[in-house]
Structure 1
């Protein structure tokens, strides 16, 4: 059995729209050239092919414009209007709509998290753990340098107090301080190795209401 071919007016009656609307569908390419047989006023429309085109090219708002149903289900060729719930299966459309809203919701959540992280970083609540570790080791080393630089003054004070040769006192203090410095450096390295590369923190973000995402 061949395809069902009808005129534009007959097809308009079948899908419950005006003949002018069918002409608009054809002009806009919403009914493809493959669904047309012939040309001009005598052109015929392949019913099922044209309906298949419209199911792909018309969105829900167009199909239910002004509350009127557009009958483009396959195999339905009656002229009587068909109520909207029977015209199309809403589940795929609702599923797509849900996915779009879910994606928007997730985008808002990411934006909120990124904004919270940026705000915490600007407020000094976040820092690079590796950089902090290196800075702490640097501070410990600089303090040892301060003590090392003060040995001359301490040696002079001790030598004057106890009437000892300053050179001998200075040599003894440097020997002792060298041992102290090595032990302190070892402790600093061990503590630095124990520090985690990442430290967790809690950042408050604004709650996003999914019901507000449209």
Structure 2
């Protein structure tokens, strides 16, 4: 299990012209659908983009947001623009993960209605990501887009919202470390820095269960 978790990568480089067998894609989507969700509301929808023109339109939306992001980067703009941030045109399958209109579920989300829906969809995407790694397929999560134009492009109903563009397909090789770490953009923090005990900022004691995990 640890090898699987450590080997998951946010992939950007895919082999062009490849396909994924229908039965493999079905297994991946079934894995996504077996994710946990608050109140068992299962607030995920996956749109498979098979139309080349629509794929190209999605790439254009992402390119627009990439330029806007670069403008907000200040002195790191040029460095950011050198990064490959998506594989929309190259990947074998393009999926859009979206939230459906709210179904009114109260169980488990009365105090945090929006957050629990988003968390549930994120669990589904993580299931898909790990299942893809088991199948030796790369997956990259693209978040650089304005939700409303993408929702309109995909004819989503009122109240639905796209949360992720997912590039899926065969890769030449998985990155040996997270790509942003390889590129010197940011490094992974030690896991111990994210674990507190009893109060915010209080480090976990050596004898705690968290420290032994």
TM-score (norm. length: structure 2): 0.22
Higher helix share: 1
Q: Which has the larger radius of gyration?
A: 1
TM-score (norm. length: structure 1): 0.22
Higher strand share: 2
